[in-house]
């Protein structure tokens, strides 16, 4: 049995769809990296470019949606082909959202660049590096259809949650120390939240890869470490420290 | 072997009165082998055909799915050099057993063919032919009733009620096929076998038949052979994939079409199998 479609044009169209997703992933990855760089370097020009480039991701998503819907209607795909197309739709939606978060980080970096640097800002590049690594692994896993790599990346999201929780506490402490820190720290908090959300969308993509290759949803319980929702930092505690 | 299976089924019914809640096997095939002369067409098929479900048989031409279908009501008996081995049972009774009369069996396990084949008689006579020869009806009003219920069940009544005396061959292809289904239903079968019932029909007529299959499922057990994957996906609850005389995989239709276990099934339904 050959692995080739008898109808070659169908195989080519599926490949094209998959390529679009891969390209979109590359753009999303670059957007996140640039947004984090814009924060670290207080680079206003780069931030503006990230904000502009976001529409390219929107265009990719529209193109992938249209292509997927066309294939569903015209080819009535089954089994792996069906999963391939549904996965493209889902991954594109996650990547689009990742792009939105990257653009938002870039936007906030403009505000952040107007006020003096606060120390917790160094956590953003650190979180950013981890997010970039996770995204790279997930996108490689998509290209290679590598379930193990996808699951590995999926599990690393825990580290990201830990970083986010510790940054959350740190930022609250800074705000208590000096009200002038509130503006930059609030932006940092949202940036960190955006990075944490990007990580969540990357894990969605990892789950989609699992479904695409194995045919079943990933049933493992992912360790959830984002404890920031429960974090309470009181002035007394800060004084004591 | 046949006796064992029979007692097994009976015992299961006796010890578990709630068994009716779980889907019961209306027909069971165990290690069914079919030979046309020296050539083996089926290599040991095992399938449970569940009551009030639609089972779709799919596979490339020559894979044995029609041969298997024809075993279920002994249509292969009429083929000279055809030999059937293994067990096929209906309600636990071996259909190839001595106590079974093939003509009676075909009243219980009816069949609808690829090309609509109404008798060259009136619509009315097409329907009452079976009940008449099986002695199910003799009086005029009994027959009228059978004609009306059968045509209603086949979704054809409203279209033909005013012209029951006209020849069945004068109907459109889709109507003829529904007439054949009505004819099959008229003898109150328990199982209906369909061999590509829509392959000669347009999409609208096909939709009518598929809608009908879904309704008929309430009262009958249905086995359908189809080359149309989408049709198998639309009408059946279970799908069996046949390949080179083997049954490769039989599972919930949803599973077969989203996540088949076997590479050959995957290759066939996605159009990769050459």
Q: Kindly list the domain boundaries of chain B, sorted by start residue.
A: 2-269
Closest CA of chain A from B244, distance in Å? 13
- For residues B52 and B236, the answer to whether their CB atoms sit within 8 Å is no
Instruction: Say whether B229 and A4 touch across the interface (CB within 8 A).
Output: no
Closest CA of chain A from B21, distance in Å? 28
Q: Nearest chain A Cα to B229, which residue? A: A78
Instruction: Say whether A79 and B229 touch across the interface (CB within 8 A).
Output: no
Q: In Å, what is the CA distance from B128 to each residue of A210, B121, B124, B165, B187?
A: 57, 11, 6, 12, 9
Closest CA of chain A from B274, distance in Å? 7
In this prediction, residue B16 carries a pLDDT of: 47
pLDDT mean over B46-51: 96
pLDDT mean over B84-94: 95
Please, which pLDDT band fits residue B8 given cuts at 50, 70 and 90? very low
Q: Which of A6, A81, A83 sits opposite B274 (nearest CB)?
A: A6
Among B270, B245, B194, B199, smallest CA distance to A215 is for B270
Q: Which of B256, B258, B265, B269 to mutate to test the interface with A (most CBs of A within 10 A)?
A: B258
Q: Tell me how far apart the alpha carbons of residues B70 and B44 are, in angstroms, rounded to a whole number.
A: 15
In this prediction, residue B14 carries a pLDDT of: 44
Q: Tell me how far apart the alpha carbons of residues A78 and A73 are, in angstroms, rounded to a whole number.
A: 12
In this prediction, residue A228 carries a pLDDT of: 82
Q: What is the pLDDT along chain A (241 residues), one digit of tens a residue?
A: 446 788 888 999 999 999 999 999 999 999 999 999 999 999 999 999 999 999 999 999 999 999 999 999 998 899 999 999 999 999 999 999 999 999 999 999 999 999 988 888 889 999 999 999 999 999 999 999 999 999 999 999 999 999 999 999 999 999 999 999 999 999 999 999 999 999 999 999 999 999 999 999 988 877 677 788 888 877 765 444 3
pLDDT mean over B167-196: 94
In this prediction, residue A241 carries a pLDDT of: 39
Please provide the CATH number assigned to the domain covering A8-240.
Answer: 1.20.58.220
> In which element (H, E) is residue B186 found?
helix B173-186
> Structural domain boundaries of chain A?
8-240
Helix A123-144 / helix A182-214 crossing angle, nearest 10 deg = 10
Which CATH architecture describes the domain B2-269?
Answer: 3-Layer(aba) Sandwich (3.40)
Contacts B257 to A, Cβ<8 Å? 78-79, 82
B214-248 burial, b for 16+ CB within 10 Å, e for fewer?
eebbeebbbbbbbebbebbbbbbbbbbbbbebbbb
Q: Nearest chain A Cα to B232, which residue? A: A78
Please, which pLDDT band fits residue B193 given cuts at 50, 70 and 90? very high
Q: Nearest chain A Cα to B263, which residue? A: A1
Model pTM score: 0.80
């Amino acid at each position: 049995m050959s692995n080739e479609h008898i109808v070659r044009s169908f195989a080519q169209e599926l490949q094209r769809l998959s390529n679009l997703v891969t390209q979109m992933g590359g753009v999303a990855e670059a957007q996140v990296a640039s947004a984090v760089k814009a924060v670290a370097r207080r680079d206003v020009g780069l931030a503006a470019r990230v904000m502009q480039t976001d529409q390219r991701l929107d265009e990719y998503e529209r193109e992938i949606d249209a292509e997927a819907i066309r294939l569903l209607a015209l080819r009535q795909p089954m089994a792996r082909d069906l999963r391939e197309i549904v996965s493209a739709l889902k991954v594109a939606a996650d990547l689009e959202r990742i792009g939105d978060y990257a653009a938002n980080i870039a936007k906030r970096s403009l505000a952040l660049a107007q006020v003096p640097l606060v120390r917790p800002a160094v956590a953003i590049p650190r979180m950013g590096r981890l997010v970039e690594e996770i995204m790279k692994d997930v996108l490689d896993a998509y290209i290679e259809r590598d379930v193990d790599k996808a699951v590995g990346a999926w599990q690393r999201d825990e580290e990201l949650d830990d970083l986010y929780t510790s940054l959350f506490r740190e930022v609250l402490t800074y705000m208590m120390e000096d009200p002038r820190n509130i503006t930059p720290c609030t932006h940092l908090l949202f940036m960190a939240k955006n990075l944490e959300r990007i990580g969540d969308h990357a894990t969605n993509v990892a789950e989609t890869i699992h479904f695409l290759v194995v045919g079943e949803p990933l049933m493992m319980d992912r360790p959830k470490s984002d404890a920031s929702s429960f974090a309470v930092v009181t002035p007394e505690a800060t004084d004591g420290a | 072997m046949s006796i064992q299976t029979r007692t097994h089924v009976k015992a299961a019914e006796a010890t578990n009165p709630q068994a009716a809640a779980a889907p019961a096997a209306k027909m069971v095939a165990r290690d069914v082998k079919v030979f046309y002369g020296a050539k083996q067409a089926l290599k040991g098929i095992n399938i449970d055909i569940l009551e009030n479900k639609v089972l779709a048989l799919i596979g490339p031409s020559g894979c044995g799915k029609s041969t298997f279908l024809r075993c279920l009501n002994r249509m292969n008996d009429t083929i000279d050099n055809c030999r059937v081995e293994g067990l096929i049972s209906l309600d636990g009774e071996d259909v190839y057993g001595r106590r079974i009369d093939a003509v009676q069996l075909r009243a219980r396990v009816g069949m609808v063919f690829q090309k609509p084949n109404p008798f060259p008689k009136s619509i009315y006579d097409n329907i009452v032919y079976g009940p008449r020869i099986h002695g199910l009806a003799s009086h005029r009003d009994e027959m009228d009733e059978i004609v009306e219920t059968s045509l209603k069940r086949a979704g054809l009544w409203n279209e033909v009620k005013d012209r029951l005396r006209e020849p069945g061959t004068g109907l459109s292809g889709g109507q003829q096929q529904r007439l054949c289904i009505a004819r099959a239903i008229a003898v109150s079968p328990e199982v209906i076998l369909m061999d590509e019932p829509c392959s000669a029909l347009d999409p609208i007529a096909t939709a009518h038949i598929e809608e009908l299959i879904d309704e008929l499922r309430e009262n009958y057990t249905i086995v359908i052979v189809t080359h149309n994957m989408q049709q198998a996906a639309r009408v059946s609850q279970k799908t069996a994939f046949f390949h080179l005389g083997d049954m490769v995989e039989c599972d919930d239709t949803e599973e077969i079409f989203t996540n088949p276990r076997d590479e050959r099934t995957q290759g066939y339904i996605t159009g990769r199998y050459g």
